Amino acid sequence: YIPWNLHEQNRGTFDFSEILDLEYVVVLLLAYVSLAATLGLWVILRPGPYICAEVDLGGLPSWLLGYPELQLRTTQQEFLDAVDKYFDHLIPRILPLQYLRGGPVIAVQIENEYGSFSKDGDYMEYIKESIDGTLHPEYTF
């Protein structure tokens, strides 16, 4: 899981430094993955925007709640703009970790448990289209 709320605690301020640096995490992860690989296991990365994972607000940053008109996990433009900015910072960090580029990540799950409450079908299509051409869609679900 990659909790968005850890990387953008304040609107517009992204932090992928030190222990939040995906490359640092991958160094630790690679030690684990190398052991897992000997057992035939790989990595499925789950960056959200919503991850659930028993994390506050499913990993969405709490500053989103400061905008009462904002509707989470919908095609409302203000929410999509926030997601796009998150993906603009996140996706370049994921690319070198993909299996097709020599990394341990064989799949990426965008969103999680969608449809339990919200039913904006266009939202999932937008999220999928937002990563087309960057992440390998055949390994993205």
Per-residue pLDDT of the chain (141 residues; tens, 9 = 90+): 788 988 899 999 999 888 788 777 666 656 765 666 667 678 888 889 999 988 999 999 999 999 999 999 999 999 999 999 999 998 888 888 788 887 778 888 889 988 776 678 899 999 988 887 777 655 555
> What is residue 92's predicted lDDT score, i.e. its pLDDT?
87
d(Cα 36, Cα 5) in Å, to the nearest integer? 28
d(Cα 49, Cα 6) in Å, to the nearest integer? 12
d(Cα 11, Cα 132) in Å, to the nearest integer? 25
pTM of the model: 0.77
> What tokens does 130 get?
């937002």
Structural domain that includes position 81: 4-139
Domain count, the chain: 1
d(Cα 67, Cα 95) in Å, to the nearest integer? 32
d(Cα 64, Cα 50) in Å, to the nearest integer? 12
The CATH number for 106's domain is 3.20.20.80
Count of other CB atoms within 10 angstroms of residue 121: 11
> What tokens does 15 get?
């932090």
